[in-house]
Structure 1
Amino acid sequence: MGNKLGSIAHFLLLFILLCSLALFTPVDGLIRIKLKKIKRNETNHIESALSMHDGDYLDAFIRKYSRRESNLGDYEDSDTVSLTDYRDAQYFGEIGIGTPPQKFTVIFDTGSANLWVPSADCFSSVSCSFHSKYKSSQSSTYKLNGKPATIQYGDGSISGYFGEDTVRVADIVVEDQMFIEAIRESDDEIFSKAKFDGILGLGFKEISVGDAIPVWENMVDQYLVKERVFSFWLSGKSEEGEGGEIVFGGVDPYHYKGMHTYVPVTKTGYWQFYMDDVLIGGESNGFCEGGCSAIIDSGTSLIAGPASVINQINLAIRATGLITDECKNFVSHFGNLGFDMVAQLFKDPKNLCSRGGICSEGGGSSSIGIRSVVDKSNRLSASVQCRACEIILGWLHKELAENQTRESLFSLGRELCTLLPSPVSESTVDCAKLSTMPIVSFKIGGKEFELSPHDYIFKVGKGSVAQCVTGFRALDIPPPGGPLWILGDAFMRRYHTIFDYDFLRVGFAEAA
């Protein structure tokens, strides 16, 4: 009896211990860095809430014991970084560099491969003054490399030198990671007004500056993740303070619906693959016959592609805002020059008709000897043609010389200018007409991935002053690198993405 009681007591103690571990151990094997969406208060100042509330623990505990098995990777052995969403244009999370760790917010960018943060030595750039700076003297694990480095992005650049230190991403500790200590940042709006400190590239080492091994590849090489995959979920509920998550080493099944469609990586460097087609309102424009190259890029907020197709899309959604003034000036200036040149050409109809072989040399309307003809009907026909030529060219000269004709055509040209989408700058649409705009689809792996107007239109501002900006941007990349499509956050918000390093493929499924 005593042995039974002892066994029961031991069982109860073990049960209490297990319950304690379940309640106080990080949920589902993950360290979640809880960041809230940046909000503006009544005085228009930025507020940031970084605390975890008691309710978060309860919610996470419930999720752990109700979680279904992931279809790829062991989610419980993964690490998750929560992302903050700033105006659907910047998604960033927190990392630590050094010992003890110095905290930085970074863009997790699948379109580049280097890690960089501002250095304490960055004095000459205004942009650096707005962000946290890395102080190598305060880290016991820092190693100076000193090799210079420069990175040119589409909208800015940074330069500095390499260092090596411990980098912490969620609960993953990467040792001897090469990164750039930026001592100069271009003072473009992209950096001076950025809500992030630096960038952590998740591309392949083929595009890494200075042959630095990317953070993700060091995670794999140092056996820090069980499965060699990471996945992106960008929340569509940014107004509720949830920007999204990156899961390193697995996939959260609560982040997507249905099954993923996988396509192989066709060229390492970027996460590049073949796209079957681009459809506007369900109709193909034929641009992608034989396949289009595309990359999935979490560091780009928009969708970029060849100008010929992007302009078709922007015309279909009636985008305006454009290069209107420059276009109108071109119509007025070069239109007048063109009119004057053509009017001068038609000034002498007789000579022009003779030179064109319709009338004989030097012969006005009375001449009928342009060909060696003897038949009377033929001579009459030649005479009529000659006279008709002179009348028509004389009328054209008169019309082209008159201001009334010019102004009517210029008016049409200026109206067309207001409809031409800008190939580079932002184009806007009427916010009240979103429901009338077409679905734009990208056919990948035989499946059409649709984007509605609410997916590809960005709304800036509120109320009567709100503007709706198209998420499509023209970008002509020449061969051999291009033509190339870039599917950025506007696509990734709608579709959960798996980056499979093991099988060199990417997978897309409807985001939950």
Structure 2
Amino acid sequence: MMKQAMLKFSHLSNLKIFLLLLGLTPLTQQAILDLELNKIDNSLAHQLQTKGEEGLDEWMSNNQHKNIDKSGLYRAIEGVVSDQLLQKKQNTYSQKFLDTAAGSLILQQYDDQQEQIFEKELRNYLDIQYFGTLYLGSQQEDMTFIFDTGSSWLWAPTKDCKICHKSEKYDPKVSEFFEQISDEPTVVTYGTGQVRGYLSQDQVCLQKNLSSCLQEFQFLSVFETYELGGLKSDGVIGLAPSSYRSGPNLFIDELYQNGLIENRVFSFYMANDGFPQPQKEFKSRLTFGGYNASIAGKKFEDYGSPTWNELINSNYWSVQLVGARLGDKQLQMSTNIAIVDTGTSYLLMPNPDFDQLVTYFQNYLICGQDQQKNLFKCLCTEQIYQNFPNIKIQIGNNVYSFPKEKYVLPFNGTCYFMIMNMTFREGTGLWILGDNFLQSYLTIFDYDNLRVGFIGESKYEEIPKTMIEYLTYFVLGLLLVVIIFVIFQLCFNHKPKEDNDGGYKRTRSNDRPIKRETTSDASPFGQPLLTVGGTQTDRQQKLLD
């Protein structure tokens, strides 16, 4: 069904590179710049990285290639490095070369870059799986991975994986850096499928060169996978904001700690190009270290800055789900949590919310569940499809649009819904904003500030107040009135009355009691005195004596 896109590589043959190094083939400037780091002898690359220009002299001396133009070879190395934005890891040797003319040109090229970022092309399978390439081990073995913001493990199937989905197999025995850390298997369970593997560490590279590598990154070397037959990538790399489920450090944090990126930020653009023609270039991109709205052409140029949403739980990229409208119908939400998940193909919602969506369409159309495809469907014509409403989803103060083109697939008179339901324990439900929601936006994951941003169609809207909030405001207002009243009474109505002598009237012990004619038993404080027995005058005399 799907025609695989062919990626074009233009490598010089090993023989030609060897002849170039020997000086037996004309070494033009263009040829030098076309050299790729992975084609150059590993010992030379190691010498350059550790000893700089002295390493180049030593390598040339040991290999007796004294007729090679040293500055030209440096340009070849730096030309490869320039494609990776001059990462900090090789600054130790590239700085020594800045005094030469070629070095000055390279420096200017990097000064034009405002940030250190890595941009990776993502292959797209039918708009439901997006995956890119990483390079494992000292041999830098090509492996494809889904970059999943809903999990935190990186795992790759090994040559020892006998029960595995169809994929390339990583050979840890070839790598000089591989180390198995634990003999106890670790199990990782997904919404669909499961893997088993051993905690290990090895070199992991973003690009096929030494300037983009994490030397001792921990991951699972997997020996079994279950129910992952539909997975089109070799493995999965987790990009969740927390590693509490996995233990090893976060991938984005490791990139930052090793100086490969300056900001712990990454972004996705998921294009709708899942049905490519042969040789067609994929447009989907993953950017580490920042975001670049121009990768989608003019699609996002009118939207300006991202609309940001703070995380409400740092274990996942979870945001505050305020509400959702389906046309003029406001859904009664069963949860206030939504997770932004690049590893889930469709939008998922809890059963109570999904039932409202089903009821809405069943009121107008003939609908039901497709048991074979496990999708909700309705009979529809082209006219009916055109009248399907967009879904408005409010996250915090931002309302985002989920157009019908993203959640409905018309086919042969039937509209299939790319929205699925999930069963949760009571009180634990959530929405998952999967790939078909994210296709309308450039999505930015900001680990430094624990927030998620979207560039695309949105509008600001105040968060509606709930009945509990209104009741809380009423009770607080009433309490404030009571406090003010009590303070007023204490300050103005409870001041004791005094006579001219500055105190209460007294009688001498031999004087007759003072008789007063009263009509009430009022105290000097304006309150009645508690009486037990006797007349009011007798009681007053006893108190005075």
What is the distance in 2 between the residues matched to 1:314 and 1:137? 53
Per the alignment, do residues 421 and 467 of structure 1 end up closer, same or farther by CA in structure 2, a change over 3 Å counting? closer
Give the aligned partner of residue 366 of structure 1: none
What is the distance in 1 between the residues matched to 2:331 and 2:274? 34
Per the alignment, do residues 184 and 243 of structure 1 end up closer, same or farther by CA in structure 2, a change over 3 Å counting? farther
Per the alignment, do residues 236 and 213 of structure 1 end up closer, same or farther by CA in structure 2, a change over 3 Å counting? same
Per the alignment, do residues 96 and 213 of structure 1 end up closer, same or farther by CA in structure 2, a change over 3 Å counting? same
What is the distance in 2 between the residues matched to 1:469 and 1:117? 34
Give the aligned partner of residue 229 of structure 2: 192
Shift of 1:314: 3.4
What is the distance in 2 between the residues matched to 1:27 and 1:76? 14
Per the alignment, do residues 245 and 431 of structure 1 end up closer, same or farther by CA in structure 2, a change over 3 Å counting? farther
Answer yes or no: is the 8 Å Cα contact 2:325–2:331 preserved in 1. yes
The answer to whether structure 1 residue 172 and structure 2 residue 118 are counterparts is no
Shift of 1:136: 1.0
The answer to whether structure 1 residue 303 and structure 2 residue 343 are counterparts is no
Q: Which fold has the larger relative contact order, with Cα–Cα distance below 8 Å and residues 6 or more apart in sequence?
A: 1
What is the distance in 2 between the residues matched to 1:232 and 1:243? 11
Give the aligned partner of residue 422 of structure 2: 475
What is the distance in 2 between the residues matched to 1:260 and 1:505? 11
Shift of 1:311: 2.3
Matches within 5 A, 1:81-480: 81-123=120-162, 125-127=163-165, 130-146=166-182, 147-170=184-207, 172-186=212-226, 188=227, 191-209=228-246, 211-240=247-276, 241=280, 242-254=282-294, 255=296, 256-257=300-301, 258=303, 259-287=305-333, 292-318=336-362, 419-421=367-369, 425-429=374-378, 430=380, 432=382, 433-458=384-409, 464=412, 468-478=415-425
Deviations 1:359-417 (A, max 9, x none): xxxxxxxxxxxxxxxxxxxxxxxxxxxxxxxxxxxxxxxxxxxxxxxxxxxxxxxxx9x
* Alpha-carbon RMSD: 3.4
Shift of 1:506: 0.5
Shift of 1:30: 8.8
What is the distance in 2 between the residues matched to 1:122 and 1:233? 32
Shift of 1:486: 0.4
What is the distance in 1 between the residues matched to 2:86 and 2:353? 43
SS of the residue 1:164 aligns to:
strand
Letter in 2 for 1:275: L
Name the one with the larger helix percent.
1
What is the distance in 2 between the residues matched to 1:243 and 1:486? 24
SS of the residue 1:450 aligns to:
strand
SS of the residue 1:427 aligns to:
strand
What is the distance in 2 between the residues matched to 1:85 and 1:30? 29
Shift of 1:87: 0.6
Answer yes or no: is the 8 Å Cα contact 2:124–2:273 preserved in 1. no
Per the alignment, do residues 227 and 208 of structure 1 end up closer, same or farther by CA in structure 2, a change over 3 Å counting? same
Shift of 1:28: 8.4
Give the aligned partner of residue 43 of structure 1: none
Per the alignment, do residues 156 and 30 of structure 1 end up closer, same or farther by CA in structure 2, a change over 3 Å counting? farther
Shift of 1:237: 3.5
SS of the residue 1:136 aligns to:
coil
Letter in 1 for 2:439: R
Per the alignment, do residues 82 and 226 of structure 1 end up closer, same or farther by CA in structure 2, a change over 3 Å counting? same
Per the alignment, do residues 459 and 195 of structure 1 end up closer, same or farther by CA in structure 2, a change over 3 Å counting? farther
Shift of 1:439: 1.1
Letter in 1 for 2:419: F
Answer yes or no: is the 8 Å Cα contact 1:174–1:215 preserved in 2. no
Letter in 2 for 1:437: F
Give TM-score scaled by structure 1 length: 0.61
Answer yes or no: is the 8 Å Cα contact 1:120–1:134 preserved in 2. yes
Shift of 1:175: 2.0
Per the alignment, do residues 469 and 22 of structure 1 end up closer, same or farther by CA in structure 2, a change over 3 Å counting? farther
Residue segments in structure 2 that go unaligned for 5+ positions in a row: 1-74, 88-107, 458-545
Greater C-alpha radius of gyration? 2
Shift of 1:222: 2.4
Per the alignment, do residues 431 and 184 of structure 1 end up closer, same or farther by CA in structure 2, a change over 3 Å counting? farther
* Identical pairs, percent: 25
Answer yes or no: is the 8 Å Cα contact 1:28–1:75 preserved in 2. no
SS of the residue 1:178 aligns to:
strand
Give the aligned partner of residue 329 of structure 1: none
Deviations 1:204-229 (A, max 9, x none): 334433x1223222112323211111
Q: How many residues align?
A: 347
Answer yes or no: is the 8 Å Cα contact 2:350–2:421 preserved in 1. yes
What is the distance in 2 between the residues matched to 1:75 and 1:313? 46
Letter in 2 for 1:287: M
Answer yes or no: is the 8 Å Cα contact 2:157–2:164 preserved in 1. no
Deviations 1:173-203 (A, max 9, x none): 11211111111111x2xx2232210000000
What is the distance in 1 between the residues matched to 2:289 and 2:167? 30
- Higher mean C-alpha deviation, range 130-139 or range 142-151: 142-151
